[in-house]
A and B are shown apart, each in its own frame.
Chain A
């Protein structure tokens, strides 16, 4: 088995929690987590649904390896229709919540409807009930975590919650579990709050006792852990510097977008890098980074635990921020730093703390602040709008202020909570929004890493690096090596990595293992744990099935090939410096070939032949 076989269906309108058997036929085709939950979602939800309406569903889903001893086997995903994008949203998180849910005996929790009053879901093994959240509505994620732990007198309770940002309608609000792990992107937290659902509090005592072949599973997982430990990226770079190891590397190849993606390199990159996080600060002599931290079952430990210096302007006289908390990873450091022109590591760390404390995505937040800064520079946004704050590129003060405003939705925070696309439309300059399908870019410039441009343009959840991370092949030289500036071969590469990733994200494993592993490392672990025969080919086919299922949903939701593109800036304004100087993104040139690779129509639509071959719903 390895699936628990149980789905918890929570109807928030009626206040009911009902257990139902997992659809095993779908599990065989869609694995779990991202794939399986999407299959449930498309069956149950009209693609035209308004994301914040009660008719939208919100699914928390584990993979079959979640909660097992496979390295990184602690992932869960949140699947819904995202308010930021209007596309399928699938936000993946680590920490300990997914494994706890699995230990309680659940593969999936499906929320439908809307509660008349604020509630939270309490789960203890098979017992599941909705309880009043009147006392925690209006509280931050961190306060909610503390209050629920006290209330239940159970320090081992695992909690996921949305924060105040979600409650006030921030379009990129996230769901935070275990204080600083996030189902971060596309506004899944806003959907949660729209349902009057504040939190999940989970305690599992059952564990996972149904892997298919326990001795073989132990042997396989130990073997592949060793591969991770011995690999330069997963065994050394990530544990030492976290994902922040990338800051200097990406800046050097001229692929570090800066100042709302006007530039492709950032002078302050070394001051906000992973290396810098380990150096003593002049003020207190301590480094920003306290230690590395792992999610459930992870033998890599890329997580960062950091502090902000007590005397730093952001936390002066605020002792509640003097302790350790989740530190910067690369994408957040880029958005909060390079993209806003800020090079103050402690100010960025503070902004990151606030993103976790009140539940919003630091990538979308930082990129939205960057867009606001450019609008401010152009005079479209003025101090009259901001209540006096000068929104200048490079201003750490403005960054910290903006985070506080978005956290509560006060003042200009309501505008910043719109996300870059809606903000730039509101202030009359939509071309300044660095988004695809309404979602902000992460930290790789498509002019200097061409595969990433195609990745962003075709990602099913809007601009995202995690749908096909071709940085591995194009920059890090892992696997099938590729030249970052070439267009040739990129459609095929992106398509393959997308399918591999879709399968990976459905197993319960962390995508970061893919620096060292291929599907050939995943398949034997899946096969030792799960009913049926699991090969790399089967996983790859499941990945293709999942990708097409998501795409089909988006087309039915109203997206067209016109949405598979990048902002003008990246197609028309060449990179100004670095090795990619003079280049623009070749996305329009690559797109027809990408559609051909996929077997789609010239308009990018899934064909009936593909539906039949992959067994997709009509």
Chain B
């Protein structure tokens, strides 16, 4: 089963445990500045929104890369950056509409979410289940279940 990251922003508290877990997993440092997932705070609206790569099927970053440094990981479905091939040209950072591929000046390469090889540290660290790692073909499952429950309640009340 292919799995994907699922984000429920309503549950996010803005604690940044995900950013620390991500940077530690990938860089060996607790460092939100180097995290591939970012939590955005919208003060006036009072909302926190985690955001990262959605692993597009027709990944524009991958298509734009002139040296084929971004490849599909067949095991996870993630679009991985091959560090030894990446030349740091940053074309992929322009190609990605969502801004989720970024340049890392310390290494001269780009970084993006690779689902930690199939066991994302962010989802593991999230204390509120705002970030989960679930069946990619049923990301709506929980919402369907919630509505099903409500529908069931209404129909039993009506009988």
| Interface residues of A, Cβ cutoff 8 Å to B | 67-69, 71, 96, 99, 103, 156, 179, 204-209, 211, 214, 218, 225, 229, 290-299, 301, 303, 305, 307, 323-325
Q: Given the known inter-chain contacts A298-B15, A299-B17, please indicate yes or no for A324 contacting B45, CB distance below 8 A.
A: yes
Interface assignment of B24: CB less than 8 Å from any CB of chain A: yes
Residues in B neighbouring A294, C-beta threshold 8 A: 13-15
Interface assignment of B62: CB less than 8 Å from any CB of chain A: no
Q: List 29 A-B contacts (CB under 8 A).
A: A67-B30, A69-B17, A69-B21, A71-B17, A103-B31, A156-B33, A179-B43, A205-B31, A205-B33, A205-B34, A206-B29, A206-B31, A206-B33, A207-B29, A207-B30, A209-B27, A209-B30, A214-B28, A218-B24, A291-B13, A292-B13, A293-B13, A295-B15, A297-B17, A298-B13, A299-B15, A299-B17, A301-B127, A303-B13
Cβ < 8 Å to A, chain B residues 10-47: 13-17, 20-21, 23-24, 27-34, 43-47
- How many angstroms between the C-alpha atoms of A272 and B19 in the bound complex? 36
Interface assignment of B48: CB less than 8 Å from any CB of chain A: yes
Q: A69–B30 contact, CB under 8 A?
A: yes
Q: How far is the CB of A105 from chain B (nearest CB, A)?
A: 11
Residues in A neighbouring B43, C-beta threshold 8 A: 179, 323-325
Q: How far is the CB of A554 from chain B (nearest CB, A)?
A: 36
Q: A297–B46 contact, CB under 8 A?
A: no
- How many angstroms between the C-alpha atoms of A299 and B125 in the bound complex? 10
- How many angstroms between the C-alpha atoms of A292 and B10 in the bound complex? 10
Q: How far is the CB of A322 from chain B (nearest CB, A)?
A: 8
Q: Which residue from A209, A291, A295, A297 sits with its C-beta under 8 Å from B29?
A: A209
- How many angstroms between the C-alpha atoms of A68 and B29 in the bound complex? 9
Q: How far is the CB of B20 from chain A (nearest CB, A)?
A: 5
Q: Given the known inter-chain contacts A297-B20, A307-B46, A323-B44, please indicate yes or no for A103 contacting B15, CB distance below 8 A.
A: no
Q: How far is the CB of B16 from chain A (nearest CB, A)?
A: 6
Q: How far is the CB of A85 from chain B (nearest CB, A)?
A: 33
- How many angstroms between the C-alpha atoms of A156 and B41 in the bound complex? 10
Between A207, A214, A290, A292, the greatest number of chain B beta carbons within 10 A of the residue's beta carbon is seen for A207
Q: A290–B31 contact, CB under 8 A?
A: no
Residues in A neighbouring B48, C-beta threshold 8 A: 293
| Interface residues of B, Cβ cutoff 8 Å to A | 13-17, 20-21, 23-24, 27-34, 43-48, 125, 127-128
Q: B13–A301 contact, CB under 8 A?
A: yes
Q: How far is the CB of A292 from chain B (nearest CB, A)?
A: 6
Between B27, B28, B44, the greatest number of chain A beta carbons within 10 A of the residue's beta carbon is seen for B44
- How many angstroms between the C-alpha atoms of A43 and B78 in the bound complex? 55
- How many angstroms between the C-alpha atoms of A105 and B74 in the bound complex? 39
Residues in B neighbouring A301, C-beta threshold 8 A: 13, 15, 127-128
- How many angstroms between the C-alpha atoms of A179 and B13 in the bound complex? 16
Q: How far is the CB of A432 from chain B (nearest CB, A)?
A: 39
Q: A209–B28 contact, CB under 8 A?
A: yes
Q: How far is the CB of A516 from chain B (nearest CB, A)?
A: 13
Residues in A neighbouring B15, C-beta threshold 8 A: 294-299, 301
Q: Please give me the 7 A-B residue pairs with the lowest Cβ-Cβ distance, nearest first.
A: A207-B31, A324-B46, A323-B44, A294-B15, A209-B29, A207-B29, A299-B127
- How many angstroms between the C-alpha atoms of A294 and B126 in the bound complex? 12
Between B14, B30, B48, the greatest number of chain A beta carbons within 10 A of the residue's beta carbon is seen for B30
Residues in A neighbouring B44, C-beta threshold 8 A: 323-324
Q: Given the known inter-chain contacts A218-B24, A324-B44, please indicate yes or no for A296 contacting B16, CB distance below 8 A.
A: yes
- How many angstroms between the C-alpha atoms of A291 and B41 in the bound complex? 13
Q: A103–B33 contact, CB under 8 A?
A: yes
Q: B31–A305 contact, CB under 8 A?
A: no
- How many angstroms between the C-alpha atoms of A68 and B17 in the bound complex? 9
- How many angstroms between the C-alpha atoms of A193 and B16 in the bound complex? 31
Q: How far is the CB of B31 from chain A (nearest CB, A)?
A: 2
Residues in B neighbouring A205, C-beta threshold 8 A: 31, 33-34
Closest to B38 in A: A156
- How many angstroms between the C-alpha atoms of A229 and B47 in the bound complex? 22
Q: How far is the CB of A2 from chain B (nearest CB, A)?
A: 11
Q: Which residue from A207, A218, A291, A295 sits with its C-beta under 8 Å from B33?
A: A207
- How many angstroms between the C-alpha atoms of A582 and B63 in the bound complex? 80
Q: B29–A208 contact, CB under 8 A?
A: yes
